[in-house]
Amino acid sequence: MTTTIITAPKEANKLGSLVKAFRKYYVPFLISIALLIVSVVFTILTPGTIRSLTNEISPVGKTLVDGKFVVNLEAVTGYGVRLVIYIVTSFITGVISGFILNTVIQKFSKDLRAQICGKINQLPLNYFDTTQTGDILSVVTNDVDMLSTSLQNSVSMLVQSIVMLVGVLIAMFTACWQMALVVLCSLPIMLVIILLTFKFALPLFNKSQDVLGEVNATVEENYSGQLVIKAFNAEPRKVSEFKQKNGIFGTVLYKSQAIGGLIEPAMSFVSFLTYAAVLVAAGLLFHSGAINEIGIITGFIVYVSLFQEPLAQIGQASSTIQLGTAACNRVFKFLEQEELPAEGEKKWLLDHKNIRGKVEFRDVCFGYDPKKLTIRNFSGKIEPGMKVAIIGPTGAGKTTLVNLLMRFYELTSGDILVDGVSIKDMSREELRDIFGMILQETWVINGTLRENIVYNLKNVDEGRLQGILEETNLAHYVSTLPQGLDTVIQKESALSAGQKQLVTIARAMAENAPMLILDEATSNVDTRTEILIQKAMDSLTKGRTSFVIAHRLSTIKNADLIFVMKDGNIVETGNHDSLMELGGLYSEIYNSQFN
């Protein structure tokens, strides 16, 4: 199978956003950098001491006494002690610097994850409609981890390398400018190698992070869709699809790592050439009498090692740096997504103890794509306490209408009023506080059954809770559990689809909101349970304005008002009897279910 490479779009660099986000950690970061500079300075001082020590024990230039040269042991001891102090000080300051820096970066990573989790709750629903779940999860896990690893490995290394390069250059020119120039000739070559590697490898590293997000999305999709995959014997197809995307990821990562891997042997080659050039130059200078110390040569060998080391480190860490840059772009691209408008200053406009439940739709227009409207000029009035059924063919706009009422999506034009107040003037929190909602899509959390039913409520009366269990036909199921309501549901598979639907109904009953929305609330339960739940629903909706979306028309025969929708418009309005007499779309749908 031929593997093709997906070309990733060019992303704006987000390093500026990273610097801004890191602002609260500037002080400990700068302390860490200061200690790191101290460590590097003491490291740079060691070759000078080695030079003096070598000269002290070298016979070159020494006067012979009785045919032997005399070594000043006191001076040798002094240089040795100084050398130990430099090395120990460099080690201790380096360890403290690393500890502070690693602590800061881990806290910063923790903050990033917290920001991402908070961001998820602030994003509009259309973002999740257009982005794969696995790709979002990849940002939270892979990208934040990669950014953390890159910062941990590269920040201290880059600072250390820059300080080391500058310090060693000064020390070399102070010691012997001729040999310093020889070493400096290798710098342009090494910089060209590093820049070429970054130029060719960085786009591939960016692409690899994007493709990794696609791979994670595929894994998440295969995991959540196992029942469908197995039911349709689609395992070979799904395995093939995963292999294709995984193959693309492997190819991109292989190329990026291969290019990044070339830098180390290239740098080593240049380093060995530099050592040879320095030794040749030292020999010529010593022969000509320009230098007359053996210590300067040994000191310079250490200087060359210290000069080459930071460049080699940059080369070796280039892969991590580039992966970190790619991860940084993805993380801050997510964090900079447009959020829902803040509504913290909005005051609650309704008296929540006396909600009447009058709802009016005024020329409502909406489209997921503004250029293509799903609902056009929808108008209707619902009096307090009415049970309103919304029916129509699939794609007619039934659930969309409810999503607009709850402000999950904002209106393209028109208005919706609750008790005479525009939902545009109300905060989302207030609006959703007056509605209880039972969705077709069931959702349970990892926790006890009690936590799933009570969810975001406090101080729910135990007697009320038991009554809800009876009304929703959950009492018998709860009695079979080892810890009753306090039994932990570790996975969604612990409950059947029908039981999960009963839990969501019980959750809405516990909320006891003044208005209700039921979107196919009994679609996953058997007929007998549906009859029991329907009685509970009738009891729950009594005296409350309620909106019921249902395909089973037997469940909405007793509705006060029925809206029949088609292509985003209300085509018929009335109760069951009047609509049957009309002989239009409603009667056609009803008769198709019972003939």
Among 3-17, 382-396, 541-555, the range scoring the smallest mean pLDDT is 3-17
**Average pLDDT of the chain?**
81
Residue 5 pLDDT level (bands cut at 50, 70, 90): very low
Residue 2 pLDDT level (bands cut at 50, 70, 90): very low
Most confident of 14-18, 21-25, 266-270: 21-25
Query: What local confidence, expressed as pLDDT, does residue 92 receive?
Result: 94
Tokens of 151: 């910062």
Query: What local confidence, expressed as pLDDT, does residue 488 receive?
Result: 84
| Among the four given CATH numbers 1.20.1560.10, 3.40.50.300, 1.10.645.10, 3.40.50.720, the one describing domain 15-107+129-335 | 1.20.1560.10
Query: What local confidence, expressed as pLDDT, does residue 418 receive?
Result: 92
Query: What local confidence, expressed as pLDDT, does residue 93 receive?
Result: 92
Task: For the chain, give every domain's residue range.
Answer: 15-107+129-335, 356-433+560-595
Condensed to tens digits (0 to 9), the pLDDT of residues 406-424 reads: 888 888 889 999 998 999 9
Q: Give the whole-number percent of the chain exceeding pLDDT 90.
A: 4
Residue 315 vs residue 323, higher pLDDT: 323
Query: What local confidence, expressed as pLDDT, does residue 274 receive?
Result: 83
Q: How far is CA 492 from CA 198, 510, 545, 550, in A?
A: 46, 21, 32, 25
Among 63-77, 185-199, 480-494, the range scoring the smallest mean pLDDT is 63-77
Q: Calculate mean pLDDT across residues 246-268.
A: 81
Residue 1 pLDDT level (bands cut at 50, 70, 90): very low
Q: Is the dihedral of CA 448, 450, 453, 458 positive or negative?
A: negative
Q: Under 8 Å CB-to-CB from 331, ≥6 apart: which residues?
A: 14, 112, 116, 139, 143, 144, 147
Residue 61 pLDDT level (bands cut at 50, 70, 90): low
**Is 70 exceeded by the pLDDT of residue 64?**
no
Condensed to tens digits (0 to 9), the pLDDT of residues 424-463 reads: 988 888 888 888 888 777 778 778 888 888 887 877 788 8
List the alpha helices (DSSP H) in 225-293. Answer: 226-231, 235-261, 263-288
Determine the 3-state secondary structure of 388 from DSSP: strand
Condensed to tens digits (0 to 9), the pLDDT of residues 335-369 reads: 888 888 877 778 888 887 888 889 998 988 888 87
Query: What local confidence, expressed as pLDDT, does residue 31 receive?
Result: 92
Q: Domain 356-433+560-595, what architecture? A: 3-Layer(aba) Sandwich (3.40)
Residue 66 pLDDT level (bands cut at 50, 70, 90): low
Q: Calculate mean pLDDT across residues 528-536.
A: 72
Q: How far apart are CA 151 and CA 154, in angstroms?
A: 5
Q: How far is CA 312 from CA 161, 255, 271, 317, 497, in A?
A: 9, 21, 9, 9, 59
**Is 50 exceeded by the pLDDT of residue 6?**
no
* Own/partner pairs, 170-175, CB within 8 angstroms, 24+ separation: 171/44, 171/47, 171/48, 171/303, 172/300, 172/303, 172/307, 175/48, 175/51, 175/296, 175/299, 175/300, 175/303
Condensed to tens digits (0 to 9), the pLDDT of residues 380-398 reads: 888 998 889 888 887 777 8
Condensed to tens digits (0 to 9), the pLDDT of residues 227-255 reads: 677 777 778 888 888 888 888 888 888 88
Among 32-46, 92-106, 114-128, 214-228, the range scoring the smallest mean pLDDT is 214-228
**Is 80 exceeded by the pLDDT of residue 569?**
no
Please say whether the beta carbons of 497 and 520 come within 8 A: no
**Is 60 exceeded by the pLDDT of residue 65?**
no
Q: How far apart are CA 542 and CA 538, in angstroms?
A: 6
Q: Is the dihedral of CA 488, 494, 499, 500 positive or negative?
A: positive
Residue 121 vs residue 314, higher pLDDT: 121
Residue 92 vs residue 307, higher pLDDT: 92
| Eight-state DSSP code of residue 378 | E
**Is 90 exceeded by the pLDDT of residue 88?**
yes
Residue 527 vs residue 588, higher pLDDT: 588
Kind of pairing, strands 64-65 and 413-418? Answer: unpaired
Q: Give the whole-number percent of the chain exceeding pLDDT 70.
A: 91
Tokens of 93: 């300051």
**Is 70 exceeded by the pLDDT of residue 315?**
no
